């Protein structure tokens, strides 16, 4: 893959001509997000450096999306979106990319997409796409991001966005292999996800469940997770949120399921062009691994230079207990985005100065 951005640009040239002749909407959109980061991983080896300065691309992306009226309030929708690596010019991974149908009964789509479980709390992550992203603890079991990732081969349904009470469900077909022949172990790699949300304006609340099949074995069962969340907008520039999650990787250690419980809370306040943010998360120990819990903290602020552009400063860190190896990560879909501890029990921290620009061009 030479460049997802180039592929999308070429697709836009051909699609724009066809789309303009139809009664439809068509957008090219994206985000450029760059940051300069000072990080540390607690490395105690005197022969190596335990701190580093780097430039991160932080889920920068570009995409195409469209919506065409078919008949009687029935619409065709599509989207193709990919990551752009501004730091080194590499082509990135596909993001939410799908085709589907939208009507007064809801939306059905198929492709690669965030699961209902993931999407339930996306809007509550005030440090999203930065090194203080809540995926350090939410969706992660001892440093491995399992439940915060997008799903391939997904069939997704959601009730209309206009409903205050919304339901979403998805079937995830084979996650790693989608053609025959399949072994029994490969055929087990499918999953299910669902979420129920209530959105009344100041109050946002919901719960979700996800199950991911894994290759069966004496020490392996399906990965499962449940979470509940609540957010409140005080309408004076202040918002707060609280998330609870119980998750299991499906592995068994000493006969005990590798599971843990996590909490995450945050608050933000807007004053003029400045937004102040603070967050704290924690996860308890795995049942079979004493001392495998961790705490996460983040503090920062952003300043809006325009409606679409902002700059920010933040500090964030993970304090791992003696048996834990949780990492800071900007993108749960990309293991390379993680800043991991040098060894179990080591702490991780990042200080970032970043710039974000979002664009959306309609045709």
Please tell me the predicted confidence (pLDDT) of residue 36: 97
C-alpha distances in Å from residue 154, one per residue of 94, 109, 166, 167, 236:
14, 8, 19, 16, 39
Please tell me the predicted confidence (pLDDT) of residue 7: 56
Residues present in the chain in total: 363
Q: What is the DSSP letter of 124?
A: G
Please tell me the predicted confidence (pLDDT) of residue 181: 73
Please tell me the predicted confidence (pLDDT) of residue 93: 77
C-alpha distances in Å from residue 220, one per residue of 152, 255, 262:
22, 10, 22
For residues 320 and 326, the answer to whether their CB atoms sit within 8 Å is yes
* Cβ neighbours of 2 (radius 10 Å): 8
The Cα 228–Cα 247 span in angstroms is 12
Please tell me the predicted confidence (pLDDT) of residue 1: 42
For residues 182 and 173, the answer to whether their CB atoms sit within 8 Å is no
* Cβ neighbours of 191 (radius 10 Å): 24
68: nearest Cα among 97, 26, 109 = 26
Q: What is the DSSP letter of 276?
A: E
One digit per residue, pLDDT tens: the chain, 363 residues?
A: 445 555 555 455 555 555 555 567 889 999 999 999 999 988 877 777 778 899 999 999 999 999 999 988 899 999 999 998 888 777 677 899 999 999 999 999 999 999 999 999 999 999 999 999 999 999 999 888 899 999 999 999 999 999 999 999 999 987 666 667 777 777 777 899 999 999 998 999 999 999 998 766 666 788 999 999 999 999 889 999 999 999 998 887 777 778 899 999 999 999 999 999 999 999 999 887 889 999 999 999 999 999 999 999 999 999 999 999 999 988 888 888 889 998 999 999 999 999 999 999 987
C-alpha distances in Å from residue 217, one per residue of 181, 183, 221, 251, 289:
20, 14, 7, 9, 21
Cβ neighbours for 2, distance < 8 A, ≥ 6 positions apart:
91
The Cα 119–Cα 113 span in angstroms is 10
C-alpha distances in Å from residue 348, one per residue of 40, 128, 149, 157, 339:
6, 18, 22, 38, 7
Domains defined for the chain, CATH in brackets: 32-59+92-362 (2.40.160.10)
């Amino acid at each position: 893959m030479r460049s997802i951005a180039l592929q999308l640009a070429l697709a836009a040239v051909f699609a724009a001509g066809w789309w303009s002749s139809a009664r439809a909407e068509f957008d090219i959109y994206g985000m450029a997000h760059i940051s300069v980061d000072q990080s540390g991983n607690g490395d105690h080896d005197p022969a190596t450096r335990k701190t580093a300065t780097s430039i991160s691309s932080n889920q920068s992306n570009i995409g195409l999306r469209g919506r065409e009226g078919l008949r009687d309030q029935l619409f065709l929708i599509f989207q193709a979106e990919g990551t752009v690596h501004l730091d080194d010019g590499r082509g990135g991974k596909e993001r939410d990319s799908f085709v589907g149908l939208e009507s007064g009964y809801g939306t059905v789509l198929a492709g690669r997409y965030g699961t209902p479980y993931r999407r339930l709390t996306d809007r509550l992550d005030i440090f999203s796409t930065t090194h203080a992203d809540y995926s350090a603890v939410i969706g992660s079991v001892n440093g491995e991001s399992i439940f915060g990732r997008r799903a391939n081969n997904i069939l997704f349904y959601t009730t209309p966005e206009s409903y205050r009470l919304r339901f979403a469900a998805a079937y995830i077909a084979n996650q790693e292999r989608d053609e025959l022949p399949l072994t029994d172990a490969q055929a087990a790699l499918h999953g299910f996800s669902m979420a129920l949300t209530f959105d009344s304006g100041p109050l946002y609340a919901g719960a979700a469940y996800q199950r991911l099949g894994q290759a069966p074995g004496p020490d392996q069962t399906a990965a499962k997770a449940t979470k509940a969340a609540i957010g409140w907008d005080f309408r004076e520039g202040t918002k707060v949120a609280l998330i609870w999650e119980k998750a299991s990787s499906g592995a068994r250690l000493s006969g005990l399921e590798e599971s843990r419980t996590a909490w995450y809370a945050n608050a933000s306040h807007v004053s003029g062009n400045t937004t102040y943010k603070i967050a704290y998360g924690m996860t308890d120990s795995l049942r079979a691994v004493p001392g495998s819990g961790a705490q996460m903290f983040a503090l920062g602020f952003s300043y809006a230079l325009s409606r679409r552009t902002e700059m920010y400063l933040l500090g964030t860190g993970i304090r791992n207990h003696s048996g834990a190896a949780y990492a800071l990560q900007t993108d749960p879909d990309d293991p390379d985005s993680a800043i991991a501890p040098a060894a179990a029990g080591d702490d991780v921290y990042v200080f970032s100065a970043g710039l974000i620009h979002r664009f959306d061009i309609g045709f």
